[in-house]
Structure 1
C-alpha cells in the first residue's frame, strides 16, 4: 500500500475522534452517500500535498464517497454538483475533484470560511439510475 493511501485511510478513520468531522451517511436509492466536512488543518502536510489541498486555518475540506449497496458496498463513480450557502446567503459553487486509488473512489472539494461560519451544503449525486439530493450543514472553526 502506498504511504499516502495509508495516511488517507488513517485520517478518515481517525475523524471519528473529532465530532465536528465525523462522516455521515445518506441513503439515496440503492446507494449510500458518505460525506464529511472538516478543517483542512486536520490533514498532515504530506496528505494535503498529495491531494493538492491547501492547508489553512480558513480552508475546509468536503469528502464524498458513494457506495452501491447492491454490489456489496463497492465504490461507485458518480457526478456531483452543488453549492454551499452560508447563513447570510453567500453562495459558493462547488467543483468536486474525483480521486481513484485502487477500487476506492471519492470526491474532494475545498471551501473558504470564517471562524464559526456555518454552511448548508446542497448536492446532487448523479448515478446511472438517476439524481439524488443530499443536504447537510457544517459549522467551521478557525483553529
Structure 2
C-alpha cells in the first residue's frame, strides 16, 4: 500500500513545518523527532479518522472520532543518507494529567523497505496526554526513550 506510506510520511514530515508557524497560543514548536547519535526517532499523534476506511480495513485499524494513532518510526543517517523506517522493538505508555496510565500496543506496518509502528489510543476532548515510548533498534543494546506531550481533540 504505497498510498498508506505516503499518507504517513506526509503526516510525519508536515508537522514540523506546521508547528514552526508563529502562534500566540503555543510559545515553542511542537517536537516531532529526537536524535540518538545516527538514529532518529520520529513521532506523531493524529486522529484515526485521517486514515481512509479502506486503509484502516487492510491494516485492521479502528477509525473513531475519539481515537488517535500514535505513529513511531526509526531512521538512521550515515554519510548524508537517511534510511526509511527501520525495524525495532517499540513499547510505551500514555499518562493523562490525573495519572491514569495506559499501555500502548503498537502494530507493525511494514511496506517495502519502510517500517512504521501505530498504537491506538482512545481519549476525551482536550485531554492532555504525556507519552513515554521506548524504541530499540535491532542493532542497539539499550532502547531509546522519547517523551512528549499532546493535547488531544475529538473530531466533530
Normalising by the smaller structure, the TM-score range is 0.7 to 0.9
User: Could you tell me whether the CA contact under 8 Å between 1:122 and 1:133 is conserved in 2?
Assistant: yes
Which residue of 79, 82, 87 maps to 2:97?
A: 87
Q: 1:43 to 1:73 in 2, by over 3 A?
A: same
Structure 1 distance, partners of 2:58, 2:144, is 30
Establish whether residue 51 from structure 1 lines up as the match of residue 59 from structure 2.
Answer: yes
Give, in whole Å, the separation in 1 of the partners of 2:18 and 2:59.
23
**1:32 matches 2:40:** yes
C-alpha distance in 1 between matches for 2:33 and 2:7: 19
Count of residue pairs brought into register by the alignment? 139
TM-score (norm 2): 0.79
Q: Give secondary structure in 1 for the equivalent of 2:63.
A: coil
In structure 2, list runs of 5 or more residues that go unmatched: 20-29
The CA deviation string for residues 105-130 of structure 1, in whole angstroms up to 9 with x for no partner, is 11111001011111100011112222
Deviation for aligned residue 1:14: 5.2
Task: Out of 115-124 and 23-32, give the one that drifted further.
Answer: 23-32
TM-align CA RMSD: 2.3
Instruction: Kindly report structure 1 stretches of 4+ aligned residues shifted beyond 3 Å.
Output: 17-20
The alignment status of 1:70 with 2:78, answered yes or no, reads: yes
Is 1:140–2:152 an aligned residue pair? yes
d(CA) in 2 for partners of 1:53 and 1:125?
21
- Structure 1, unpaired ranges of 5+: none
Which residue of 1 is the match for residue 25 of structure 2?
Answer: none
Q: 1:17-58 CA deviation, whole Å, 9 max, x = no partner?
A: 7958x8811112220111110111111111211221111011
